[in-house]
Structure 1
Amino acid sequence: MNKVFIIGLPRTGTTSVSVALLEQGFKVAHIGLTKRAFEVADVVSDVPCFCDYPQLDKLFPHAKFVYVDRPVDAWVNSIQMLLTKMAPNLADKTGTFHPILKRCFKQTFGDLKADDLLDKTRLKQCYLSHQQAVFDYFEGRNDLLTITLNEPDSLQTLLRFIGVSDEAIKRNDTVDFPVLNVGTHVASWGEYKHPNKVNTNLAGPEHRKFFDYQKLGLANYCAN
């Protein structure tokens, strides 16, 4: 099958989408930080997909992309919580998170040490800027699906978009996305056990190297 990349921002429901697709038999990486993770997974979500979708589009020319939308005011409240939890580990020199994760958050949310990092107006603009960039990039194409998880039949719409037959959809009893990472909970993916989960840091022939976009001649489309 063609690759599927989930490019909604964190706290839009990317974990719920990832778990739903695991249950449909797809190999899923929620965050992919190595070439091997991208090679093995059918579906990759979150970091770095929400930032690097133009490069992934070039690397995987037949891929499909799914933008997960959420009412922006509800998203702002949720991302404030997440950034508060993550900020110490996102620091350039002292933070313990992977450099790719740091890069994607910095490119999306700007200066992570800014006094107004959690300002609602600022975060709302980050969300809308990312959304507009996605819509501009995929304008006139048919390989982007936009979904809101609590809308009726959104899971079935997603499955049809990525090539699951109506017969297979009817055979499956699941009709809605699972509700995960509610409130201050952020660890549902790590807690969820499934044989189709793909390790974020999966090693391969080149160990744990990621794609070298410069070497591949792929421009960096992500906003600073």
Structure 2
Amino acid sequence: MVEFNKVFMIGLPRCATVSTSDALGMLGIRTAHLGRIYGEHSVEHNNPKRLTRIYDQIAAGDFDLDILRECDGLADYPACSFQVLQQLDQHYPGSLFINVRRDQEIDRWLQSVERQFIGLQLIKQGKTASDEEKNFMKVMLAFREMTFGQSRFDADAYRSAYLDYQAAIDTHFMNRGAHLLQVDIQTLESHGLELLADFLDCRDQLEIGNRFPNSNHHSKRPSEAFMLALDEGRIQSQTGIVAVRC
């Protein structure tokens, strides 16, 4: 395997961040997705306590992150915030970066973001939400603002943020191709594991029959909450998602 300091999955939310984190785990690299380290059980693929600690450290300007003493890297927030990414790149020299993109299907990405982001808020800020859930949502909203410029979902603003982010990534790594793997999401199922293994020089970790994981179970509840609210007329979609019941 190629030598590296840390591995950061810097794809934006809803760009296969959980699946890529799990794929890296299959290759022997344990990353933390929203604080949940690969191999730990978590239905929602997060660890609120660790994620809060990550946010507190970053807010204080401390990038010697506690969690990176426990694992090999990060996926999703905070690594997908460009300002944070730059700091991680400086603080952990010799690290590798993986960016899964949805340039060819931005409209579908926006629909996925709308369902997940608003649905998660409906659950975590609802009347039955626990104090831990409400605090988790506060941290998530802070990371959203850090990443997209605003925590409230707005289709036009988030589209612009997506395009600006990808342009910034291209510029930042312009002369450092060996440190960055960029992958179109549509190629993950067929070639994702091989692309990761080649980038990391660990083809020996591939096992016959293994396929790139499709780790999307954590999205079910937020999606259901969003669709229920849409069906009941409590919310309206900005991205053309149609209610099931009229």
Q: Same fold (TM over 0.5)?
A: yes
- 1:103 corresponds to which letter in structure 2? A
1:24–1:109 CA distance, 2 compared to 1 (3 A): same
- The structure showing larger relative contact order (alpha-carbon pairs under 8 Å, at least 6 residues apart) is 1
Separation in 1, partners of 2:67, 2:166: 26
- 2:174 corresponds to which letter in structure 1? E
Q: Return the structure number with greater helix share.
A: 2
- 1:63 corresponds to which letter in structure 2? S
Map 1:31-70 → 2, pairs under 5 A: 31-32=34-35, 33=51, 34=54, 35-51=65-81, 52-70=84-102
Shift of residue 122 of structure 1? 2.6
Query: Which of the numbers 142, 154, 158 marks the counterpart of 1:103?
Result: 142
2:220 alignment counterpart: 185
Map 1:1-224 → 2, pairs under 5 A: 1-2=3-4, 3-32=6-35, 33=51, 34=54, 35-51=65-81, 52-70=84-102, 71-87=105-121, 95-97=134-136, 101-113=140-152, 117-118=153-154, 120-142=155-177, 143-151=179-187, 152-164=190-202, 166-169=203-206, 172-181=207-216, 184-185=219-220
Range with bigger deviation, 45-54 or 78-87? 78-87
Separation in 2, partners of 1:159, 1:29: 19
2:241 alignment counterpart: none
Shift of residue 186 of structure 1? 6.5
Contact between 2:78 and 2:143, CA under 8 Å: does it hold in 1? Answer: yes
Contact between 2:28 and 2:205, CA under 8 Å: does it hold in 1? Answer: no
Contact between 1:8 and 1:69, CA under 8 Å: does it hold in 2? Answer: yes
Separation in 2, partners of 1:102, 1:112: 5
Separation in 1, partners of 2:95, 2:221: 28
Separation in 1, partners of 2:174, 2:108: 26
Shift of residue 57 of structure 1? 0.5
- 1:126 corresponds to which letter in structure 2? A
Would you say how many aligned residue pairs link Structure 1 and Structure 2?
177
Percent identity for Structure 1 against Structure 2: 28
Separation in 2, partners of 1:180, 1:150: 15
TM score, norm. by length of structure 1:
0.69
**Structure 1: where are the runs of 5+ without partners?**
188-224
Which of structures 1 and 2 has the bigger CA Rg? 2
